């Protein structure tokens, strides 16, 4: 069977696998890839990007930057060039901006457009059209943008940017890097200082990259949380971007290696930004044998290689304060918890209810379908570990969610019986060669078109 992403509406079955082994690189970090394209479009001149994630979500952002006036090209060697139009130089798009399944792309570009006197319509797939946009609509409206959206602030929506964006001080009610980034992007074309106050620090890729492009941005601890302040109307200068490996994508082969007996793999070049590395801290606390090697800095991001060996895991209480640094990894953590000895408690993760799917409900349902007991609450779940003896044999509904699909395929590699997910087509949004990479490590994956 060829190693490529499954075709549309393709179920996938993960079979109990032999020991996994090998050295791999996972796709480029999705968060950093989105931002590299967006900030490249706002700089004057050419930004060269190496290691860009070429998944559907990021390719949608690349096409959006073209529609907003930037010149975006992919070279034969896999690098990308973005010739930007400068802050304030965006053109009004002639057609709707289609973000597919990408909430990150949609929310960040809403911030970008909100600071410019242009009108754009935002559309996406059925999953994205169910997700809440009010969290960015509220602060961007304060800055002078106008929205015409479906009930509940949902897409499709039309956004008219501010004729002259207003700098604001915004206290974010949720721990969301997307909200913070949207406000800062709008603030780029506003005179004066725009400040976002975060109750809990979130991933800081936007701040790191803005500094690299020459913006003046300061962070300090205030009485209400972390204060991030941006001075508007900078001239951004192009800089080369090397996109490190995505720790959220690396989570799947890492957990698979921890769970499948006899496994040992090396994952090269992933970012271990402290705002993204919560899963790896948690897996180590559970007894996971994860060795951090060759630590270095690339493009302003801390990067390292990981050596991962099969381990007997134990259940723990995951600190709620860690949620922001691993919010996308809870489904695969729940799979690891199913194989651990004792209970694993995860709380403070209500944000999972408004991701590509209700990830708490989808994860709990998938666990039960495979013989694992789980207790679900409004903002968390408790998984009763089976000390390595997970029955499997279940059929899991993915709800168009790539992380649910990959998490339960990981379960199938280590369970007693195969695990099937109803649709693997959306895996391509973030990890286009997941099936090929896992097969290359020795995992058994069988595709079947429905």
Ordered mean pLDDT values, 10 residues apiece, the chain (450 residues): 45 97 95 96 97 94 98 97 97 97 95 98 94 93 96 95 96 91 98 95 92 96 95 95 94 98 97 94 98 88 95 98 93 98 96 84 97 96 97 96 96 98 92 95 79
CATH T-level topology, domain 30-231: UDP-n-acetylglucosamine1-carboxyvinyl-transferase; Chain (3.65.10)
- Give residue 449's pLDDT: 35
The pLDDT value given to residue 6: 40
Residue 88 confidence (pLDDT): 95
Cα–Cα distance, 272 to 269 (Å, whole number): 9
Of the candidates 434, 404, 261, 230, the one whose C-alpha atom is nearest the C-alpha of residue 332 is 404
Distance separating alpha carbons of residues 378 and 288, to the nearest angstrom: 28
Other beta carbons within 10 Å of 341: 14
Q: Are 52 and 264 spatial neighbours (Cβ–Cβ below 8 Å)?
A: no
Q: Which of 125, 204, 328, 423 is catalytic?
A: 328
CATH class of 10-28+244-449: alpha beta
Identify the three-state secondary structure at position 199: coil
Burial class (CB in 10 A: 0-12, 13-18, 19+), 173: exposed
pLDDT given for residue 9 in this prediction: 57
pTM of the model: 0.84
Strand order in the sheet with 154-160: 97-98, 119-123, 154-160, 146-150
- What's residue 441's pLDDT? 98
Cβ neighbours for 165, distance < 8 A, ≥ 6 positions apart: 114, 115, 116, 143, 144, 145, 186, 187, 189, 190, 232
pLDDT of residue 5: 40
Tell me how far apart the alpha carbons of residues 216 and 355 are, in angstroms, rounded to a whole number.
32
Sorted by where each begins, the domain ranges of the chain are: 10-28+244-449, 30-231
Preceding omega of 156 cis (within 30 degrees of 0) = yes
Question: Residue 132: what pLDDT?
Answer: 84
Angle between helices 30-42 and 177-187 (to 10 degrees): 10
The β-bridge partners of 420 are: 13, 395
pLDDT attached to residue 299: 65
Residue 18 CA to residue 428 CA, distance in Å, equals 25
Active site residue 328: yes
Pick from 279, 284, 281, 378: nearest CA to 334: 279
């Amino acid at each position: 069977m060829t190693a490529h992403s499954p075709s549309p509406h393709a179920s996938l079955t993960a079979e109990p696998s032999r020991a996994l082994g090998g050295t791999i690189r996972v796709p480029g970090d999705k968060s950093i890839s989105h931002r590299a394209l967006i900030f490249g479009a706002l700089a004057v001149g050419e930004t060269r990007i190496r290691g860009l994630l070429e998944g559907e979500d990021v390719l949608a952002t690349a096409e959006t930057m073209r529609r907003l006036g930037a010149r975006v090209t992919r070279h034969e060697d896999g690098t990308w060039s973005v010739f930007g139009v400068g802050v304030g130089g965006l053109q009004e798009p002639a057609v709707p901006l289609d973000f597919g399944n990408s909430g990150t792309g949609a929310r960040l570009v809403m911030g970008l457009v909100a600071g410019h006197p242009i009108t754009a319509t935002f559309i996406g797939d059925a999953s994205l059209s169910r997700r809440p946009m009010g969290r960015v609509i509220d602060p961007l409206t304060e800055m002078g943008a106008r929205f015409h959206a479906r009930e509940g602030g949902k897409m499709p929506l039309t956004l008219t940017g501010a004729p002259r964006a207003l700098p604001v001080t915004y206290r974010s009610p949720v721990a969301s890097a997307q909200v913070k980034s949207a406000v800062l992007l709008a603030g780029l074309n506003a005179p004066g200082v725009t400040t976002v106050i975060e109750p809990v620090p979130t991933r800081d890729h936007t701040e790191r990259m803005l500094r690299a492009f020459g913006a003046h941005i300061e962070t300090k601890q205030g009485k209400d949380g972390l204060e991030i302040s941006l001075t508007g109307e900078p001239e951004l200068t192009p800089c080369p971007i090397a996109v490190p490996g995505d720790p959220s994508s690396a989570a799947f082969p890492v957990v698979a290696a921890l769970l499948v007996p006899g496994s040992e793999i090396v994952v090269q070049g992933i970012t271990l930004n402290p705002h993204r590395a919560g899963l790896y801290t948690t897996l180590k606390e559970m007894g996971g044998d994860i060795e951090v090697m060759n630590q270095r800095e690339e493009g302003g991001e801390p990067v390292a290689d990981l050596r991962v060996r099969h381990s007997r895991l134990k259940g723990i209480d995951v600190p709620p304060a860690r949620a922001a640094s691993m919010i996308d990894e809870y489904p695969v953590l729940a799979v690891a918890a199913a194989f651990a000895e004792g209970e694993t408690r995860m709380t403070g993760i209500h944000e999972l209810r408004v991701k590509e799917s209700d990830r708490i409900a989808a994860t709990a349902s998938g666990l039960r379908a495979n013989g694992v007991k789980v207790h679900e609450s409004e903002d968390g779940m408790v998984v009763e570990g089976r000390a390595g003896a997970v029955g499997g044999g279940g059929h899991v509904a993915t709800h168009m969610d790539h992380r649910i699909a990959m998490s339960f395929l990981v379960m199938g590699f280590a369970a007693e019986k195969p695990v099937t997910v109803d649709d693997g087509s959306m895996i391509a949004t973030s990890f286009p060669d997941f099936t090929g990479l896992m097969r290359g490590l020795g995992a058994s994956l069988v595709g079947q078109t429905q």
